[in-house]
Amino acid sequence: MAEKKMVNAITDMDEDFAQWYTDIVKKAELIEYTSVKGCMAIRPYGYAIWENIQKILDGMFKETGHENVCMPMFIPESLLEKEKDHVEGFAPECAWVTVGGSEKLEERLCVRPTSETLFCEHYKNIVHSYRDLPKLYNQWVNVVRWEKTTRPFLRSREFLWQEGHTIHATAEEAIEETERMLNLYAKFCEDALAIPVIKGRKTESDKFAGAVSTYAIEALMHDGKALQAGTSHYFGDGFAKAFDIQYANKDNKLTYPHQTSWGMTTRLIGAIIMTHGDNSGLALPPAVAPIQAVIIPVAQHKEGVLEKAGELYDRLKKAGLRVKLDDSENSPGWKFAEYEMRGVPLRIEIGPKDIENGQCVIVTRHNGEKSFVKLDELETAAAEKLQAVHDGLYRKALENRERRTYACTSMDEIVKVLSEKGDGFVKAMWCGEEACEDAVKEKTGVGSRCIPLEQEHISDTCVCCGKPAKHLVYWGKAY
Amino acid sequence: MAEKKMVNAITDMDEDFAQWYTDIVKKAELIEYTSVKGCMAIRPYGYAIWENIQKILDGMFKETGHENVCMPMFIPESLLEKEKDHVEGFAPECAWVTVGGSEKLEERLCVRPTSETLFCEHYKNIVHSYRDLPKLYNQWVNVVRWEKTTRPFLRSREFLWQEGHTIHATAEEAIEETERMLNLYAKFCEDALAIPVIKGRKTESDKFAGAVSTYAIEALMHDGKALQAGTSHYFGDGFAKAFDIQYANKDNKLTYPHQTSWGMTTRLIGAIIMTHGDNSGLALPPAVAPIQAVIIPVAQHKEGVLEKAGELYDRLKKAGLRVKLDDSENSPGWKFAEYEMRGVPLRIEIGPKDIENGQCVIVTRHNGEKSFVKLDELETAAAEKLQAVHDGLYRKALENRERRTYACTSMDEIVKVLSEKGDGFVKAMWCGEEACEDAVKEKTGVGSRCIPLEQEHISDTCVCCGKPAKHLVYWGKAY
């Protein structure tokens, strides 16, 4: 019966990328749909990826001096309204609690779409003196945004995330924090998820509601669409003024502090799928793979095979790998396909012949490469192979991005290159005017993704209006 | 300025235990109040305790084969209504989302008070064959119950918890799971929190809404009131029938599976405070203390003191302790009081004289005992002292419970012993009738806490009606 559940039912990614994505999240058992539109049940295999993401990121936050806290999930309407831009940005997508128990509430409560307002209220209670600064906080929570169209991980009404919130004595410190966290996010994506990213600043029209400036990391998916993988906001003292947060500085003068916030979400799992996956299924970066190596005994009914497979399992487990031994009754062929689908970085095969030769076979998921490994070199070989998978995934993703990044000097060129070569990042110069930003989107279909921190000079003039250019911008279609 | 923040402002616990509790949660900086009634901001020190609880419990869950998942936070009203007893129990305390974005929802969504209904919907989607069983799931999430009177950690409208949900082929397996988790909870409370607990079954009137039987662990607080620290429910096939979950058994016959659920919450932090705290503040069990040892340099301006203190810090950190060195400019006296208030298990003092003598001073928080320890035995001594703190806290809590547990054979005796000796556990026999259970509560003020698994024979007859007794019951006033 289990044998029926073969993996060849995934849609071809080049035929229908959206359906391929949906097939993967369901068939690799990452999520299951629920009767609540836009809210998903995250299944053990999907949640284990998130746990690994959490563990690594949380360690990085703590190393940089951040502490975890937990604010309430409800925001009274009057609190949300205190910062004008912020409420304008978020109110349209809030879910509202209006009844508690059997009584209608006097004031509606919004289910947090983000928690700046709650942190501000808290800061006002606990920040009084320069000695109380900085506060470097983070929380791992669920948030709700009432999206109209939803897709698992990429855009769901409820999602899981971390939101960092910090408050500093000076603008300089807050700006430094904003940049530190952007860099930390980029490093995490590259080192843990094997996803290369572009670090940049969002244009004015694309900023977070209430921010002075918003920074983001942008990744390019397999299909050439961009995905914003993390954001880091600098707020100046705008929220402090709106919430009347002041501290006594060293001269005992009341002063407005400066704030930041930054976040990454379960959307990263979507980014992993669309960056590394292929027509055999998921391909997981070793750092966050729930299973890093699966051991599959071949001819397991033969004497000594299961015993030897068990030995390998014990050794790899002891070496610190997340390893699984599948000694179920399914055929090796079925197992090969199943763990490919699930994106397990290494498959280790061991059969009677291998035992005779004092070896096993290691197959790396991302390229299907097969190696014979001496049994007494198992631990070293497995570690090297995991590194090779990480490096291979990263290289492949980077090559995809480079192949799909087009420098353009005119709108016509943008339209032409996209229609000829398919979606991707367009690098083009911009004068800084919102009208031109809108015109590029309307006429070419690609919107501004970010103003990269690493600027290049492609031409002197704005790709739209021909006036002097101020910035190089990455443009693209976005998830 | 910081020196002003002295800790002598805690209310005496024997004068006003409730105020003492409130003082501790605020002054040890565990929580801060928010403008959302009944919802608290959990501050870094409070959240770090919860993180340590999570880490240990999560490890125990995984060792026993459980996997983490995450269900949505919203439950459509029609889904909540599917199991009759369950909705009757929970609907009165639900918070309802009625507006999403700017539109009134067609169906109200309840913010989960617990997630049985969501798990049932999910099981229906994924459980089809006996091969799909058991599913042993857990999730770490927030839940909402619209309580009228609230207290930080003990009874809040939003709280954090883990909820385990499992589904099994047979009743026997599900019952075994219910008991396994009850035992795991008891072990956790005793080994990690140093809180002795009574394992028992709830009476019919006190069962979880929808359960066949509810088991609980009950702890006795310093003031003689009982606190339910964890529950484990056996559902039989009631939910399976209500949600039409069936699986094909080995004979390919459709069969209803059996379910359990079990939970522990941030209320455990309240239990820690009220079990171990004293008039100097918190006293934390070492296994969950955010700081296990604080190093306080004495005469730190003298040559070599800070350097030596730093050495001790490095050594203890390397030995795996959660250790802090406080080299701030506050006086040693202020620091002593501050870390006592925060319940840090070990205080390590090091000054010029100590250095000269090749020693340091270790003071254990729970009893104020002071020892001189040779510097080259620091790691061993610290480990031994931490164990001594755990054992000491446990012994003290057990002694308090034993001193406050009264075996009674009549209602008059219950009233008399409680008025003479103060609140505590009353052990008395019961016939099993709800009328008697109610009468005991009405006439003596103590309600049934549980029917302990370890039964004793105190008398032949029900303490209320005089008819033959069926069970020994623990009675008490409860948080």
Half-sphere exposure of A348 (CA within 13 A, CB side): 33
Enumerate the H helices of A319-367 as residue ranges.
332-341, 352-356
Instruction: Say whether B70 and A42 touch across the interface (CB within 8 A).
Output: yes
Q: Is A2-276 a CATH 3.30.930.10 domain?
A: yes
Q: Assess B65–A contact: CB distance below 8 Å, yes or no.
A: no
Does the domain at A405-476 match CATH 3.40.190.120? Answer given as: no
Strands B95-100 and B471-476, sheet pairing: unpaired
Comparing CB atoms, the residue among B34, B43, B67 nearest residue A44 is: B67
Contact state of A44 with B101 under an 8 Å Cβ cutoff: no
Residues 84-123 of A with CB under 8 A from B: 92-102, 108-109, 111, 118, 121-122
DSSP letter at A286 equals: T
Q: Which amino acid is at B315?
A: R
Please list every residue in chain B whose beta carbon sits closer than 8 Å to the beta carbon of residue A322. none
Number of Cβ within 10 Å of residue B30's Cβ equals 27
Closest approach of chain A CAs to the CA of B424, in angstroms?
32
Distance of CA B336 to the CA centre of its chain: 28
Please tell me the predicted confidence (pLDDT) of residue A2: 41
Q: What is the pLDDT of residues B414-448, one digit of tens each?
A: 999 999 999 999 999 999 999 999 999 999 999 99
* Minimal C-alpha gap between A392 and chain B (Å): 30
Residues B448, B203 contacting (CB under 8 angstroms): yes
Closest residue of B to A89, CA-based?
B101
3-class DSSP assignment, residue A362: strand
Q: What is the pLDDT of residue A3?
A: 44
Residue B272: pLDDT over 60: yes
Single-letter code of the amino acid located at B68: N
Q: Give the separation between CA B191 and CA A292, rounded to whole angstroms.
A: 32
Whether B471 and B453 have beta carbons less than 8 Å apart is answered as no
Q: Which residue of B has its CA nearest to A100?
A: B95
Distance CA A92, CA B322 (A): 45
How far is Cα B110 from Cα B107, in angstroms, rounded to an integer?
A: 10
* Contacting residues of B for A79, CB less than 8 Å apart: 35
pLDDT at B9: 81
Residue with tokens 């009767």: A35
Domains of chain B by residue range: 2-276, 293-392, 405-476
Tokens 């003071």, residue?
B363
> Which of A 127-156 lie inside 8 A of B, CB atoms?
129, 131, 137, 141-142, 144, 146, 148
- Interface confidence: ipTM more than 0.90: yes
pLDDT band at B8 (very low <50, low <70, confident <90, very high): low
CA distance B11 to A420: 76
Which residues of chain A neighbour B138 with C-beta distances below 8 Å? none
Does the beta-carbon distance from A97 to B97 stay under 8 Å? yes
Q: Which of B70, B110, B139, B158 to mutate to test the interface with A (most CBs of A within 10 A)?
A: B70
Beta strands in B146-197 (DSSP E): 158-168
Cβ-Cβ contacts under 8 Å, A75 against chain B: 36
Which of A50, A51, A52, A74 is the best residue to mutate to test the B interface, defined by the most B CB atoms within 10 Å of its own CB?
A74
CA A232 to CA A181: how far, in whole Å? 7
Q: Which residue has the tokens 């705008």?
A: A238
Using the Cβ of B243 and the Cβ atoms of chain A, whether some distance falls under 8 Å is answered with no
Give A274 to chain B, closest Cα distance, Å: 22
B245: which chain A residues are within 8 Å (Cβ-Cβ)?
none
pTM score, whole prediction: 0.97
- Report whether A273 contacts A285 (CB < 8 A): no
pLDDT tens string, chain A, 479 residues long: the values are 344 445 458 999 999 999 999 999 999 999 999 999 999 999 999 999 999 999 999 999 999 999 999 999 999 999 999 998 989 999 899 999 999 998 999 999 999 999 999 999 999 999 999 999 999 999 999 999 999 999 999 999 999 999 999 999 999 999 999 999 999 999 999 999 999 999 999 999 999 999 999 999 999 999 999 999 999 999 999 999 999 999 999 999 999 999 999 999 999 999 999 999 999 999 999 999 999 999 999 999 999 999 999 999 999 999 999 999 999 999 999 999 999 999 999 999 999 999 999 999 999 999 999 999 999 999 999 999 999 999 999 999 999 999 999 999 999 999 999 999 999 999 999 999 999 999 999 999 999 999 999 999 999 999 999 999 999 999 999 99
- Rounded CA separation B267/B467 (Å): 38
What local confidence, expressed as pLDDT, does residue A9 receive? 81
Q: Which residue of B has its CA nearest to A121?
A: B34
Burial B244-271, CB ≥16 within 10 A → b, else e: ebbbeeeeeeebbbbbbbbbbbbbbbbb
In terms of CATH architecture, what is A293-392?
3-Layer(aba) Sandwich (3.40)
Strand partners, A261: A165, A233
